[in-house]
Chain A
């Protein structure tokens, strides 16, 4: 039994409890999980935000102008987070995670104030690297996959600012080095995912990397390339070809791994690769944006409908039917997504007539501000 964080055995029992919550007696759960206390997903997100904001406000109260206050606020936030963990046995409950991450980042920010501005580290600024290291350390301490993933993503983006990356980019195309590094890390995470880990949280950290790295690193590359196509000149097909081959290879590997291991993360990563390949198709051809959007959308819908039908009866253990009724947060997200789409559609409506006063507050339709 550890005071600092759940042991691997306790963490595994916490995982079992979250799978079978209603089927297990309360005393049994407490005994096996070491008394660690957690919370639900929505409350965890809210408490994480509150903890992070509290640490930032603490720095503000101490005084924004003085650099040493970064260290003081950071230390206080980390100590409170540790007290909540050790004293109150909170794990993955949001508040101690928000405080801990903000505390580490504040301490990292204080360290950056000690670095001479002219110093460089392999051609990139070391300040960002210190902050990345601080966030990564906080993520590992808290076993939080979101924070470790954010740290890795920022690190991949930072690597693009180094002289080595600039030199490589000059040969293989702008942004390809960063994208290649992202794909390489995703491939490593995918390969490591085949190993059996004692801690479920280590699995989740790798899963998040597999699911997000390809699309997140490609987003930066494609943004640049979009403008290159639209506004400047294309710097040769070699970079694009390399990108497409990388995406294709990674996508196939993820699909195979996802189906073999029966894991969601590689399948989500595969879907990200397909989306990136669709963008590459748009950049490589003269398709108009609207045609490309409609074609991709129809392809996604046809694929979804076909899979839904094909897997309604389980085939080789795969099914399109939900296996449990714990889709609460996803249902909420789906409702919000439908509302967002409906709101975007409503913007197609004509502007208010000149005789109408926007935001007039009159009911019966006259109250509509027109800004909606």
Chain B
């Protein structure tokens, strides 16, 4: 254990920090107030993860024993029960707490799994099955707006990306071998839709909490799309300038908003895209590795310099 009390007292005695700041810092340093917020979020996320994993197995294994209608009904009831705290909070005009947000996410995910299962069993939409993802995206978005839940919005954006045929996890992004220009075009289109949605939302609701979530989705999808274009000629001719523009915009956004993540996106994706564009055209392993080494060194130096500028006051 260590305590920073002597340093905090020195700062207060020298007049560097005011009474209120010193009191707050000392109370926290001594543990007189201690937040379990992080532990609670981890517990709630683990709960949602485990329940969804269990429900997934139930759907896969117990069809014959229970019957599809009973399964659909049971999961729907559980989903509704999970949404009760959120509905009650909304009716009472209270903001949703962390537990309410996670229960609402569980309700939404159970609803998604139920819909998918029902479609598999009863083929409700027949050949139009792929529209389910768009339907989910719209329904999830409506729920996210109704309850002000960024977690449900993330589920909605994931469903939207799925409708475009794009995965949103890091693993999907790193599958360079399966990245095609068509996939890149779809990722870019999805990013454009999310960016448009973000600006409309911002304009309609200046105090929105959703901009951050949409920014991250749009930035990642746009970069993945641009990198997919960088792998093949003639798409490369458009892919490289697009990648450069996106990197510039991302860095600018990072500097203006004081957001470190966008500096990392801008520099990191630019380095990956440059390597994806150039390395297949270089012959010889030493030359290839040498080029990659130069790119990595330049990226590290650039990121360091940009991060330093982030600390300076932004005009």
Q: Residues of A at under 8 Å CB distance from B?
A: 12-13, 15-16, 19-20, 23-25, 28, 37, 39-43, 46-47, 50-51, 53-54, 57-58, 60-61, 63, 93, 95, 193-200, 203, 261-264, 267-268, 271, 275, 289-301, 303-305, 307-309, 311-312, 314, 317-323, 327-328, 330-332, 334-346, 348-350, 352-353, 355-356, 359-361, 363, 365-372
Contact = CB atoms under 8 A, between A and B. Distances in A.
A348 B120 contact: yes
Contacts of B106: 301
Contacts of A20: 11, 17, 21, 25
B151 A372 contact: no
B2 A200 contact: yes
B70 to A, nearest CB: 15
B19 interface: no
Interface in B42-75: 42-59, 61-62
A367 B164 contact: yes
B174 to A, nearest CB: 13
15 contacts: A43-B264, A46-B268, A54-B300, A203-B1, A290-B54, A297-B51, A304-B44, A328-B260, A345-B56, A348-B120, A349-B129, A349-B132, A350-B123, A356-B130, A372-B167
B33 A319 contact: yes
Nearest to B117: A348
B7 A341 contact: no
A302 B118 CA distance: 28
Contacts of A317: 31-34
A319 B34 contact: yes
B131 to A, nearest CB: 5
Interface string B282-315: 0001100110110011011001100110100000
B182 A309 contact: no
The A interface, classified by DSSP as helix, strand, loop or mixed, is: helix
Interface residues of B, number: 116
A306 to B, nearest CB: 9
A289 B120 contact: no
Contact of B1 (A197, A361, A365): A197
Identify the 9 closest CB pairs spanning chains A and B, nearest first. Answer: A262-B31, A297-B50, A293-B54, A300-B47, A297-B51, A294-B54, A301-B47, A361-B182, A348-B116
Nearest to B301: A95
Given A294-B50, A294-B55, A342-B112, A43 B36 contact: no
A372 B160 CA distance: 11
A332 to B, nearest CB: 6
Given A290-B57, A297-B54, A311 B36 contact: yes
Contacts of A341: 48-49, 52, 105, 109, 155
Given A294-B51, A304-B98, A334-B151, 5 more contacts: A307-B36, A336-B169, A340-B169, A341-B105, A361-B185
B41 interface: yes
Contact of B216 (A95, A332, A359): A332
Given A298-B47, A342-B159, A268 B2 contact: no
A289 B57 contact: yes
A330 B151 CA distance: 13
A301 B16 contact: no
A342 B115 CA distance: 13
A81 to B, nearest CB: 12
Contacts of A289: 54, 57
B239 to A, nearest CB: 16
B260 A262 contact: no
B277 interface: no
Contact of A309 (B99, B154, B303): B99
Nearest to A200: B2
Nearest to B161: A372
Contacts of A198: 2
Nearest to A93: B304
Interface in B157-197: 157-159, 161-169, 180, 182-183, 185-186, 189
A60 B289 contact: yes
Contacts of B151: 334-335, 338
Contact of A348 (B49, B56, B152, B159): B56
A43 B133 contact: no
Q: Which of A53, A203, A365 is most buried by chain B, counting CB atoms within 10 A of its CB?
A: A365
Given A308-B98, A321-B35, A54 B297 contact: yes
Contacts of A264: 38-39
Given A304-B43, A338-B155, A23 B17 contact: yes
A118 B57 CA distance: 48
Contacts of A348: 56, 59, 112-113, 116-117, 120
Given A262-B34, A369-B165, A301 B113 contact: no
B134 interface: yes
A349 B109 contact: no
A198 B7 CA distance: 12
Nearest to A353: B127
A48 to B, nearest CB: 10
Contacts of B251: none
Contacts of A43: 260, 263-264, 303-304, 307
A320 B35 contact: yes
A16 B28 CA distance: 12
B23 interface: no
B40 interface: yes
Contacts of A54: 293, 296-297, 300
Q: Which of B3, B132, B289 is most buried by chain A, counting CB atoms within 10 A of its CB?
A: B289
B150 interface: yes
Contacts of A12: 2, 4, 7
A345 B35 contact: no
B51 A301 contact: yes
